[in-house]
Structure 1
Amino acid sequence: MLRFITSSSAPKFFPTKPFHIISPFSSRLSVRSMADSAAPFSKIQIQRDDNTTFDAYVIGKHDAPGIVVLQEWWGVDFEIKNHAAMISQLGRGFKALIPDLYRGKVGLDVAEAQHLFDGLDWPGAVKDIHASVDWLKANGSKKAGVTGFCMGGCSCNCKLCLGSAC
């Protein structure tokens, strides 16, 4: 809900609830510190066919179509959680799932993000993505898709090339 303020000749609109602005000059550390304040995600563990388990974050209606949202090279941070939360509310709603490909690590600066990216087990990441799609289908989603941002977009292509189709 917006308030109309007429203290000057030009109208201004302000949200009635407090909000936070993240400056482009903010450090990744300040954004990372807000990672747990994003929308109400459920943290789950998913088991792959090779019995490896990994954490994932899910939001949305139980029986909604599923979409796996793949992280940027920074890892699962506030920004990717916000993207998934917005995706979960599109149209009639989706169940969005973010697999944690970095196993809980987040790049706080460019050097650390590059190090995490360089150390990523790509075949294992594709297995994580495949297991995420399987989890969505086994837990109420009749259909599932995969999308990603930055590194996640590349991971989508790996899923298409190396894994079975969704």
Structure 2
Amino acid sequence: MADGEGSWKTIDVGDESVRMYVVGDVTDRGPGVVVLHAWWGLVDDITDYADQLAGRGFTVVAPDLVRGTTAATVADAERIVNGADDDHCEAVTLAAVDWLAANGVSSVGTVGFSFGAWWAVVASGARSNVRGSVVYYGAAVPDNIGSSDAPVLANMAENDPFESDEFIQMMVNGLTDAGRRIDLHTYPDTGHWFAEPSRDAYAPAAADLAFNRTVQFLTESLTG
């Protein structure tokens, strides 16, 4: 793991201590963001993204959802996801939101990449201080989708074997039926992981556009 601009902290989740990357000035009481990693684990792409968000004025935390495991190949990542503890992932996500709140951050957003997208939307239904959620190439229709009025920004790939058009439409319908706004953007000529620089699918122009849209969305949702 490369050294970034932030620091590493631990939070208690049940009887476990969970690692979390923290960057930004929590003392300024500005908006906070929880960044939730893809199935690769908490790797440099995620901490670098957290650094970028912090550079735009957010206090950012990126918790480890999968107990320190990371993957370099799809096969290894599939094993991580297949062995993931859903209850633990949800508890870690909410503990990260609560950590920001305990440190005086009253308005929180969530950003989830692929595997992390589900937990980004779950958090908005479980915590009323989550005022906006962003998903990157990951659809989510959790049971608590109707427990929030927070909007969702979806940054989706055009050519994505991991997310079907049908499931994406289920998310759109679920949010719409719940009275929640959904801003859906599909990026032409992109594949899954287009916003992660270490992946072959990385598409810099699309990643930059998605990032700028994310910053605008979070700014409006958390401070508007």
Q: What residue is the counterpart of 1:87 in the other structure? A: 53
- Matches of 2:53 and 2:88 in 1, distance apart? 25
State the 1:75 CA deviation.
0.8
State the 1:164 CA deviation.
3.2
Q: What residue is the counterpart of 2:145 in the other structure? A: none
- Matches of 2:103 and 2:16 in 1, distance apart? 19
Give 2:24's aligned amino acid.
G
Alignment equivalent of 2:5, drawn from 21, 35, 40: 40
Q: What residue is the counterpart of 2:107 in the other structure? A: 143
Runs of 4 or more consecutive aligned structure 1 residues displaced over 6 Å after TM superposition: none
Which structure exhibits the higher relative contact order, with contacts defined as CA atoms closer than 8 Å and separated by 6 or more residues? 1
State the 1:143 CA deviation.
1.6
Task: Report the count of equivalent residues.
Answer: 127
Q: What residue is the counterpart of 1:76 in the other structure? A: 42
Deviation track 1:8-44 (CA, whole Å, cap 9, x = no partner) reads: xxxxxxxxxxxxxxxxxxxxxxxxxxx323x222111
- TM-score, normalisation: structure 2: 0.53
- Matches of 1:158 and 1:140 in 2, distance apart? 22
| Structure 1: gaps spanning 5 or more residues | 1-34
State the 1:147 CA deviation.
1.1
- TM-score, normalisation: structure 1: 0.70
Matched, 1:164 2:127: yes
Superposed CA RMSD in Å reads 1.5
Local SS of the residue matching 2:105: coil
Using the aligned pairs only, state the percent identity.
31
Alignment equivalent of 1:111, drawn from 45, 60, 75: 75
State the 1:54 CA deviation.
0.7
Structure with the bigger percentage of helix: 2
Local SS of the residue matching 1:74: coil
State the 1:124 CA deviation.
1.3
